[in-house]
Protein backbone atom coordinates (compact mmCIF):
# COMPACT_ATOMS: atom_id res chain seq x y z
CA UNK A 1 0.00 0.00 0.00
CA UNK A 2 1.15 3.49 -0.95
CA UNK A 3 4.51 2.33 -2.30
CA UNK A 4 5.88 4.13 -5.35
CA UNK A 5 8.66 2.59 -7.42
CA UNK A 6 9.96 5.73 -9.17
CA UNK A 7 12.14 3.73 -11.59
CA UNK A 8 9.65 1.51 -13.36
CA UNK A 9 11.13 0.20 -16.64
CA UNK A 10 11.58 -3.02 -18.61
CA UNK A 11 14.95 -3.66 -16.97
CA UNK A 12 13.27 -3.85 -13.57
CA UNK A 13 10.48 -6.26 -14.61
CA UNK A 14 11.02 -10.02 -14.45
CA UNK A 15 8.69 -12.62 -16.01
CA UNK A 16 8.68 -16.23 -14.78
CA UNK A 17 7.96 -18.24 -17.92
CA UNK A 18 6.79 -21.28 -15.95
CA UNK A 19 4.35 -19.56 -13.57
CA UNK A 20 3.65 -16.52 -15.82
CA UNK A 21 4.19 -14.33 -12.77
CA UNK A 22 5.54 -10.80 -13.21
CA UNK A 23 7.81 -9.41 -10.49
CA UNK A 24 9.01 -5.85 -10.02
CA UNK A 25 12.63 -5.55 -8.89
CA UNK A 26 15.08 -2.83 -7.80
CA UNK A 27 13.19 -0.69 -5.32
CA UNK A 28 16.31 1.35 -4.59
CA UNK A 29 14.53 4.56 -5.58
CA UNK A 30 11.19 3.43 -4.15
CA UNK A 31 9.42 5.25 -1.36
CA UNK A 32 6.72 4.30 1.11
CA UNK A 33 4.18 7.11 1.45
CA UNK A 34 2.18 7.79 4.57
CA UNK A 35 -0.63 8.94 2.29
CA UNK A 36 -1.04 8.43 -1.45
CA UNK A 37 -1.55 12.17 -1.86
CA UNK A 38 1.84 12.96 -0.36
CA UNK A 39 3.93 15.03 -2.76
CA UNK A 40 7.48 14.21 -3.82
CA UNK A 41 10.09 16.85 -4.58
CA UNK A 42 13.23 15.02 -5.73
CA UNK A 43 13.83 14.13 -9.37
CA UNK A 44 14.43 10.38 -9.74
CA UNK A 45 14.04 7.93 -12.61
CA UNK A 46 15.47 6.74 -15.93
CA UNK A 47 15.54 9.33 -18.76
CA UNK A 48 13.34 7.46 -21.29
CA UNK A 49 10.71 6.60 -18.63
CA UNK A 50 10.67 9.76 -16.53
CA UNK A 51 7.37 11.64 -16.36
CA UNK A 52 6.80 15.32 -17.21
CA UNK A 53 5.72 15.74 -13.56
CA UNK A 54 9.24 14.99 -12.38
CA UNK A 55 10.77 17.25 -15.06
CA UNK A 56 8.55 20.17 -14.09
CA UNK A 57 10.67 20.91 -11.03
CA UNK A 58 7.53 21.16 -8.88
CA UNK A 59 6.24 18.75 -6.19
CA UNK A 60 4.42 15.85 -7.83
CA UNK A 61 2.35 12.77 -6.96
CA UNK A 62 4.25 9.50 -6.92
CA UNK A 63 1.61 7.05 -8.20
CA UNK A 64 0.63 8.98 -11.36
CA UNK A 65 4.33 9.29 -12.17
CA UNK A 66 4.67 5.49 -11.96
CA UNK A 67 1.65 5.08 -14.25
CA UNK A 68 3.36 7.30 -16.83
CA UNK A 69 6.36 4.99 -16.73
CA UNK A 70 3.97 2.02 -17.14
CA UNK A 71 2.64 3.65 -20.32
CA UNK A 72 6.20 3.84 -21.68
CA UNK A 73 6.71 0.16 -20.78
CA UNK A 74 3.49 -0.89 -22.54
CA UNK A 75 4.30 1.18 -25.65
CA UNK A 76 7.80 -0.31 -25.87
CA UNK A 77 6.53 -3.89 -25.41
CA UNK A 78 3.91 -3.53 -28.15
CA UNK A 79 5.93 -1.59 -30.74
CA UNK A 80 9.56 -2.33 -29.88
CA UNK A 81 10.57 1.35 -29.72
CA UNK A 82 10.44 4.09 -27.11
CA UNK A 83 7.62 6.63 -27.44
CA UNK A 84 10.10 9.37 -26.55
CA UNK A 85 13.67 9.14 -27.78
CA UNK A 86 16.52 11.45 -28.64
CA UNK A 87 20.29 11.17 -28.34
CA UNK A 88 20.38 14.66 -26.79
CA UNK A 89 18.97 14.60 -23.21
CA UNK A 90 17.62 18.16 -23.42
CA UNK A 91 15.67 17.33 -26.60
CA UNK A 92 14.42 14.09 -25.04
CA UNK A 93 13.09 15.93 -22.00
CA UNK A 94 11.46 18.54 -24.25
CA UNK A 95 9.54 15.81 -26.09
CA UNK A 96 8.46 14.27 -22.79
CA UNK A 97 7.20 17.54 -21.32
CA UNK A 98 5.29 18.35 -24.51
CA UNK A 99 4.02 14.72 -24.73
CA UNK A 100 5.31 14.56 -28.28
CA UNK A 101 4.92 10.95 -29.45
CA UNK A 102 3.26 9.09 -32.32
CA UNK A 103 1.68 5.65 -32.25
CA UNK A 104 2.85 3.64 -35.30
CA UNK A 105 0.32 2.61 -37.91
CA UNK A 106 -1.54 -0.46 -36.78
CA UNK A 107 -1.14 -3.69 -38.76
CA UNK A 108 -3.85 -5.44 -36.77
CA UNK A 109 -1.61 -6.91 -34.10
CA UNK A 110 -2.26 -4.08 -31.62
CA UNK A 111 -5.91 -3.28 -30.91
CA UNK A 112 -7.29 0.22 -30.66
CA UNK A 113 -8.24 -0.56 -27.07
CA UNK A 114 -4.57 -1.14 -26.25
CA UNK A 115 -3.62 2.13 -27.94
CA UNK A 116 -6.27 3.91 -25.90
CA UNK A 117 -4.67 2.61 -22.70
CA UNK A 118 -1.33 4.02 -23.86
CA UNK A 119 -2.88 7.43 -24.58
CA UNK A 120 -4.58 7.49 -21.18
CA UNK A 121 -1.30 6.64 -19.44
CA UNK A 122 0.86 9.07 -21.39
CA UNK A 123 -1.35 11.99 -20.45
CA UNK A 124 0.26 15.29 -19.52
CA UNK A 125 -2.27 15.80 -16.74
CA UNK A 126 -1.40 13.41 -13.86
CA UNK A 127 -4.93 13.57 -12.43
CA UNK A 128 -6.38 12.28 -15.73
CA UNK A 129 -4.08 9.27 -16.07
CA UNK A 130 -5.43 5.79 -15.59
CA UNK A 131 -4.87 4.18 -12.21
CA UNK A 132 -3.41 0.71 -11.74
CA UNK A 133 -6.87 -0.75 -11.06
CA UNK A 134 -8.27 0.82 -14.23
CA UNK A 135 -5.40 -0.53 -16.35
CA UNK A 136 -5.88 -4.01 -14.91
CA UNK A 137 -9.61 -3.98 -15.72
CA UNK A 138 -9.01 -2.68 -19.25
CA UNK A 139 -6.30 -5.25 -20.01
CA UNK A 140 -8.50 -8.05 -18.64
CA UNK A 141 -11.32 -7.03 -21.01
CA UNK A 142 -8.92 -6.88 -23.96
CA UNK A 143 -7.47 -10.31 -23.16
CA UNK A 144 -10.95 -11.84 -22.81
CA UNK A 145 -12.06 -10.33 -26.13
CA UNK A 146 -8.98 -11.54 -28.00
CA UNK A 147 -9.31 -15.02 -26.48
CA UNK A 148 -12.94 -15.26 -27.55
CA UNK A 149 -12.11 -14.00 -31.04
CA UNK A 150 -9.18 -16.41 -31.33
CA UNK A 151 -11.39 -19.34 -30.33
CA UNK A 152 -13.95 -18.47 -33.03
CA UNK A 153 -11.22 -18.06 -35.64
CA UNK A 154 -9.76 -21.45 -34.76
CA UNK A 155 -13.19 -23.04 -35.20
CA UNK A 156 -13.42 -21.57 -38.70
CA UNK A 157 -9.94 -22.65 -39.76
CA UNK A 158 -10.66 -26.37 -39.97
CA UNK A 159 -9.12 -27.67 -43.20
CA UNK A 160 -10.17 -31.15 -44.43
CA UNK A 161 -7.46 -33.66 -45.26
CA UNK A 162 -6.78 -33.87 -49.00
CA UNK A 163 -7.52 -37.26 -50.52
CA UNK A 164 -6.35 -37.96 -54.06
CA UNK A 165 -8.95 -39.28 -56.56
CA UNK A 166 -7.10 -42.61 -56.83
CA UNK A 167 -7.01 -43.13 -53.10
CA UNK A 168 -10.63 -42.06 -52.83
CA UNK A 169 -11.68 -44.58 -55.52
CA UNK A 170 -9.69 -47.39 -53.87
CA UNK A 171 -11.28 -46.60 -50.53
CA UNK A 172 -14.73 -46.64 -52.15
CA UNK A 173 -14.04 -50.00 -53.84
CA UNK A 174 -12.79 -51.52 -50.58
CA UNK A 175 -15.85 -50.24 -48.80
CA UNK A 176 -18.10 -51.74 -51.49
CA UNK A 177 -16.25 -55.09 -51.30
CA UNK A 178 -16.64 -55.15 -47.53
CA UNK A 179 -20.31 -54.30 -47.93
CA UNK A 180 -20.82 -57.13 -50.43
CA UNK A 181 -18.93 -59.61 -48.22
CA UNK A 182 -20.92 -58.57 -45.21
CA UNK A 183 -24.18 -58.85 -47.14
CA UNK A 184 -23.16 -62.33 -48.31
CA UNK A 185 -22.32 -63.40 -44.79
CA UNK A 186 -25.68 -62.11 -43.60
CA UNK A 187 -27.48 -64.01 -46.35
CA UNK A 188 -25.60 -67.24 -45.56
CA UNK A 189 -26.32 -66.86 -41.86
CA UNK A 190 -29.99 -66.24 -42.57
CA UNK A 191 -30.15 -69.30 -44.82
CA UNK A 192 -28.46 -71.43 -42.15
CA UNK A 193 -30.88 -70.20 -39.51
CA UNK A 194 -33.76 -70.99 -41.83
CA UNK A 195 -32.50 -74.56 -42.41
CA UNK A 196 -31.99 -75.12 -38.70
CA UNK A 197 -35.39 -73.75 -37.88
CA UNK A 198 -36.99 -75.84 -40.61
CA UNK A 199 -35.28 -79.08 -39.54
CA UNK A 200 -35.99 -78.52 -35.88
CA UNK A 201 -39.69 -78.87 -36.64
CA UNK A 202 -39.20 -82.55 -37.42
CA UNK A 203 -36.95 -83.39 -34.46
CA UNK A 204 -38.78 -85.53 -31.86
CA UNK A 205 -38.68 -84.36 -28.28
CA UNK A 206 -37.97 -87.90 -26.97
CA UNK A 207 -36.37 -90.44 -29.26
CA UNK A 208 -38.14 -93.80 -29.56
CA UNK A 209 -34.90 -95.58 -30.44
CA UNK A 210 -32.28 -96.77 -27.98
CA UNK A 211 -29.08 -94.81 -28.23
CA UNK A 212 -25.98 -96.85 -27.48
CA UNK A 213 -22.63 -95.29 -26.70
CA UNK A 214 -19.96 -97.88 -27.28
CA UNK A 215 -16.70 -97.03 -25.49
CA UNK A 216 -13.38 -98.55 -26.28
CA UNK A 217 -13.28 -102.28 -25.63
CA UNK A 218 -11.49 -103.35 -22.49
CA UNK A 219 -10.43 -106.85 -21.54
CA UNK A 220 -12.55 -108.26 -18.70
CA UNK A 221 -11.41 -110.46 -15.85
CA UNK A 222 -13.07 -113.52 -17.52
CA UNK A 223 -10.88 -113.07 -20.60
CA UNK A 224 -13.46 -111.58 -22.90
CA UNK A 225 -14.96 -108.15 -23.49
CA UNK A 226 -18.49 -106.97 -24.06
CA UNK A 227 -20.07 -103.61 -24.87
CA UNK A 228 -21.50 -101.42 -22.14
CA UNK A 229 -24.79 -99.87 -23.14
CA UNK A 230 -25.95 -96.50 -21.87
CA UNK A 231 -29.68 -95.91 -22.28
CA UNK A 232 -31.03 -92.42 -22.10
CA UNK A 233 -34.59 -93.51 -21.28
CA UNK A 234 -36.40 -95.70 -18.74
CA UNK A 235 -35.58 -99.44 -18.65
CA UNK A 236 -37.59 -101.56 -21.13
CA UNK A 237 -38.06 -105.35 -21.37
CA UNK A 238 -35.64 -107.13 -23.72
CA UNK A 239 -37.02 -107.97 -27.08
CA UNK A 240 -36.42 -111.31 -28.71
CA UNK A 241 -33.81 -109.80 -30.99
CA UNK A 242 -32.00 -108.32 -27.96
CA UNK A 243 -31.95 -111.75 -26.30
CA UNK A 244 -30.51 -113.35 -29.43
CA UNK A 245 -27.76 -110.68 -29.66
CA UNK A 246 -26.79 -111.18 -26.01
CA UNK A 247 -27.13 -115.01 -25.86
CA UNK A 248 -23.36 -115.55 -25.92
CA UNK A 249 -22.91 -113.85 -22.53
CA UNK A 250 -25.83 -115.56 -20.77
CA UNK A 251 -25.21 -118.54 -18.43
CA UNK A 252 -25.18 -121.92 -20.06
CA UNK A 253 -28.46 -122.80 -18.37
CA UNK A 254 -30.17 -120.14 -20.37
CA UNK A 255 -29.50 -122.14 -23.52
CA UNK A 256 -31.65 -125.00 -22.23
Q: All domains of the chain, ordered by start, with CATH?
A: 3-148 (1.10.510.10)
The pLDDT of residue 206 is above 80: no
Q: What is the pLDDT of residues 9-39, one digit of tens each?
A: 999 999 999 999 999 999 999 999 998 889 9
Give the C-alpha distances (Å, rounded to integers) separating 212 from 209, 216, 237. Answer: 9, 13, 16
C-alpha to C-alpha distance for 215 and 230, rounded to whole angstroms: 10
Q: What is the pLDDT of residues 135-166, one digit of tens each?
A: 999 999 988 887 666 555 555 444 455 555 55
State pTM to two decimals. 0.57
Mean pLDDT, the chain, as a whole number?
76
Q: Residue 75: exposed, middle, or buried by beta-carbon count in 10 A (0-12, 13-18, 19+)?
A: buried
Q: Which of 7, 86, 107, 137 is catalytic?
A: 7
Q: What is the pLDDT of residues 91-129, one digit of tens each?
A: 999 999 999 999 998 777 888 999 999 999 999 999 999
Helices (H) and strands (E) in the chain, counts: 7, 6
Whether 38 is a known active-site residue: answer no
The pLDDT of residue 64 is above 60: yes
32 pairs with which residues across the strands? Answer: 3
Which is nearest to 94 in space by CA: 41, 50, 127, 129?
50
Residue 4 CA, distance from chain mean position:
42
More confident residue, 3 or 245: 3
Amino acid sequence: ENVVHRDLKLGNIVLNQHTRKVTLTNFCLGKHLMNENDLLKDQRGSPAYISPDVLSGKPYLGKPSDMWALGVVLFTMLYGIFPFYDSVPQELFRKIKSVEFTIPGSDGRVSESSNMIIRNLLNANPTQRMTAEQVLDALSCIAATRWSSSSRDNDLQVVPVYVSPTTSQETTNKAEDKSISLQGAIEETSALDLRLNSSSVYLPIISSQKEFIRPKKKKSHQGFSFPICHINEDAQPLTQSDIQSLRHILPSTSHQ
